[in-house]
Amino acid sequence: MAKVDMQYIEVVAPIDSAKDLFDFLQVRSVMEIKKLDETDGLDYFETGPVVTSIEKYLDTASTALEIADRYAPEKSSLLSALKGIPVLSESEYIKKSDEADEILGVCLKICAAEKNITENKALISRARAAMDGVEPWLSLDVPMQFKGTESSKAVIGTLPDEYTADSLRIALAQFLEGEERYECEVVSKSAGRSCIFVLVHNEAYENVLSALRRLDFAFPSDPTKHPPKVRYERMKAKIEAAKEEIGNDTALIKELAAERDNIKFACDWFTIKRDRYKALQNTSAGDTVVAFGGYLPAEKTEALKEELYEKFSAALEAADPPDEDVPVLLRNKPFAAAVEPITEMYALPDRTDLDPNPVMSIFYYVFFGLMLSDAGYGLLMAIGCGIAKFKYKVTGKLKKTVDMYFWCGLSTVFWGALFGSFFGDIIPRVSEQFFGKVLTVPWAKEPGSIALWFEPVKDPMKLLCYSFLFGIIHLFFGLGCAFVKMWKQGNKTGAVFDCVPVFLLILGIVPIGAGILNVTVPPVLVTAGKYLAIAGAVSVVLTAGRDSKNIVGKLGLGLYGLYNTASGWLSDILSYSRLLALGLCTGVIATVVNTLGCIPSNKAVKAVMLIAVFIFGHVVNMAINLIGTYVHTNRLQYVEFFSKFYEGGGRSFTPLKTNTKYYQVKED
């Protein structure tokens, strides 16, 4: 039984040790905390505000890390991802956690510096805009707000169209009827706009201004108090200062980025703390005690009980679970555990389900190997995963995936050797094309084959029959699981009546079906099969309708059951023909690649061509077929195998744990 037995327990502890107790439980990661059902006279801890403020700290820390990564990117490679995350012992972790406040200070500094940089950047662009605004006025010696002298008034502003002093005078003259008491000056003109300065006698002011207005004169929106040059210089200085500040802040961030590891730790630490306070919300508290319930693997109860009593004077006792929502934890040997992620992707087993992984794993590897079926590709997979597994010692979920591809790779090597495929037919081809020697194993029917068993391309029918055979074995294991599951649940009649007739029926049909596929079957077996099939069919008809009350219903449901069984199993078994199809696909395309590489007749050219085509072609072929194989292996498990017995829908066991991203905490 690879599903771990879960036990529901209730814990009562003195309120003083509650914090340490939760610390301890979190590092141990053994228990999923749940609210107690009955809490007469006890209150729940209200930790919402604390959680919120910790989340704010966490946010600061992760923002700081993001900023540090942006300004001083960390060098990382694919290999470093394989190395996994560094491990901290419990004591190192506690010592480091004392520094968390200091680190938070660093994070705040980083965030402030980055905010400063953003503000200064905005300031620079505002100053640039202001400089652009006064640029046309730079040669004006008086302030743009200059009003004039005692006897004269100044008019400063812009006109559409480009004027010189003379052309402006001419333009104004048509509206002024001989009025001459004004002086024009064009400060600058560009792009259909003129900046003008006009000095007018007090008495002529109204007339000249209205004349200017008729030329669409406009006052500047933001006139300067000092000569424009002053503002221009001031803005220039501002930009310089802002630039310098940005430089300083950037340098500061780069310097503080050296604390990256500590910031990462702070992120982890605040995550841990937040999770702990969240768990505390499920705790009931009185004046002197706290109480909470939870699930844990049954085998850990005793050890935890003693430890809790010794360290925290806390009492632990097993109780009836409050509901049926018992979490699921799977534990398998590494060989079977490797396919757990595949099962999880479908659904976790629920309370009544068997853990399918042990049975599934062996079929998964066999089918994967059979479909990829090239020893070269399998060898590459096994070596790659072997390096990740043994040299880099990957952990966690990644380890399971690496393990899975490692076993799949070995299986692929096995099938590839049986079918004589190593990067297609590269070995016999090179030996023939370059050395003129036809390699053949002694037992081969025709020359040129190095298959230990046979080549699927030469005899696809044979492999088709074997595919169906493997499929039937796989399905029978599924049916066996259904039998065990029902038997364990106490539904013994169901187990016998639902499974045994199908076994008989299919076993009986196999020899007959084999005959159709031109396989020679001893006549005894065919005859025996006939009787088995009839017995199976009759018993399906007799048992499938057993839930119906009247005889007509029983017979009707029985016949319907027979039809369902027969059609369902036929399509299930035929589905395994993909084992042949995908296997052929890999092998033939690999051979095509090698054929293309050997087109030139000159041996030197041929060698160069072959190497280039070999590398490119096989990389592509391997990648495409890996995806196809993965998808179709999953399908055979999900659709054909699981449908026989597996329900799924379990909830995964989520203990209070140190859910960290950058460091791993290990017990001392």
Partner 1 sequence: MSFGIMFAILGGVLAAAGGGAGSAIGVGRVGRAAAGVVTEDPSKFGKVLILQILPGTQGLYGFLIAFLLLTQIGVMGGSPIQLTAAQGLMYFAACLPMAICGFVSALHQANAAVSGVSIVAKRPEESGKAIIFAAMVETYAVLALLISILAMFNITANINA
Question: Using CB under 8 A as the criterion, which residues of the chain lie in contact with partner 1 when the complex forms?
Answer: 345-346, 460-461, 464, 574-575, 577-578, 580-582, 584-585, 588-589, 592, 595, 624, 627-628, 631-632, 634-635, 638-639
Helix (H, G, I), strand (E, B) or coil at 33: strand
CB of 342 to partner 1, least distance (A): 8
- When the beta carbons of 48 and 396 are compared against partner 1, the nearer one is 396
Q: Quote the least distance from Cβ 518 to partner 1, whole Å.
A: 10
| Angstrom distance (rounded) from CA 310 to CA 316 | 12
Of 346 and 503, nearer to partner 1 (C-beta) is 346
Nearer to partner 1, 300 or 635 (CB): 635
Nearer to partner 1, 252 or 626 (CB): 626
Place of tokens 């560009």: 190
CB 641 → partner 1: shortest distance, Å? Answer: 13
Q: Which amino acid makes up residue 89?
A: S
d(CA 658, CA 660): 6
In the bound complex, what is the minimum distance in angstroms from residue 624's beta carbon to partner 1? 7
The least distance separating partner 1 from the CB of residue 299, rounded to whole angstroms, comes to: 30
Token pair 């085998």 is at which residue?
299
Instruction: Give 46 or 647: the residue with its C-beta nearer to partner 1.
Output: 647
Tokens representing 591?
Answer: 């051979």
Quote the least distance from Cβ 634 to partner 1, whole Å: 7
Q: Which is nearer to partner 1, 403 or 498 (CB)?
A: 403
Is the Cβ of residue 362 or residue 464 nearer to partner 1 in the bound state?
Answer: 464
User: Residue 461 has which token pair?
Assistant: 């029918």
Name residue 154's beta-bridge partners.
199
Q: Which is nearer to partner 1, 48 or 341 (CB)?
A: 341
For residues 222 and 131, the answer to whether their CB atoms sit within 8 Å is no
Q: Which CB atom, from 81 or from 258, has the smaller least distance to partner 1?
A: 81
Containing 318, the helix (H) or strand (E) segment is: strand 315-318
* 200: β partners: 153, 182
> What pairs with residue 14 in β-bridges?
289
Say which amino acid occupies 349.
Answer: P
Q: Which amino acid is at 529?
A: G
Strand partners, 534: none
Radius of gyration of the chain (CA): 41
Q: Choose between 218 and 596: whose C-beta lies nearer to partner 1.
A: 596
Residue 77 burial by Cβ neighbours in a 10 Å radius (0-12, 13-18, 19+): exposed
Q: Determine contact, residues 155/198, Cβ cutoff 8 Å.
A: yes
The smaller minimum CB distance to partner 1, of residues 11 and 585, is found at 585
Classify burial at 242, counting beta carbons within 10 Å of its beta carbon; exposed 0-12, middle 13-18, buried 19 or more: buried
Tell the smallest beta-carbon distance from residue 445 to partner 1 (Å): 14
Alpha-carbon distances, residue 61 vs 92, 97, 210, 624, 644 (angstroms): 20, 14, 64, 42, 50
DSSP label of 348 = B
CA dist 609 and 598 (Å) reads: 7
Query: Please, what is the minimum distance in Å from the beta carbon of residue 341 to partner 1?
Result: 9
Q: Which is nearer to partner 1, 497 or 576 (CB)?
A: 576
Nearer of residues 230 and 517 to partner 1, judged by Cβ: 517
Place of tokens 């089918």: 367
Q: How far is the CB of 628 from partner 1 (least distance, A)?
A: 6
Pick 3 or 632: Cβ nearer partner 1: 632
Pair type for strands 32-34 and 289-297? antiparallel
* Among candidate residues 621, 632, 568, 630, the one with its CA nearest the CA of residue 596: 621
Q: Is the Cβ–Cβ distance between 415 and 422 less than 8 Å?
A: no
Shortest approach of partner 1 to residue 578 CB, angstroms? 5
| Residue with smaller CB distance to partner 1, 39 or 595 | 595
Task: State the nearest-atom distance from the C-beta of 654 to partner 1, in Å.
Answer: 14
Q: b vs e for 568-600, b when ≥16 Cβ sit within 10 Å of the residue's Cβ?
A: ebeebbebbebbbebbbbbbebbbebbeebbee
Joined together, the tokens standing for residue 13 give 């502890």
Least distance in Å: CB of 167 to partner 1?
Answer: 55
Picking from 164, 152, 137, the residue whose alpha carbon sits closest to that of residue 208 is 152
If residue 381 lies in a helix (H) or strand (E), which one and from where to where? helix 375-386
C-beta closer to partner 1: residue 152 or 449: 449
Evaluate whether 360 touches 641 at the Cβ level (below 8 Å). Answer: yes
- Short-list 87, 22, 18, 4, CA closest to 667: 87
- Name the helix (H) or strand (E) containing 7: strand 6-14
From 333, 332, 381, 335, select the one nearest 362 (Cα to Cα). Answer: 335
CA–CA gap between residue 467 and residue 321 (Å, rounded): 46
Minimum distance, C-beta of residue 537 to partner 1, in the bound complex (Å): 27
* H or E element, residue 562: helix 551-575
CB 221 within 8 A of CB 137: no
Q: Supply the minimum distance, in Å, between the C-beta of residue 464 and partner 1.
A: 7
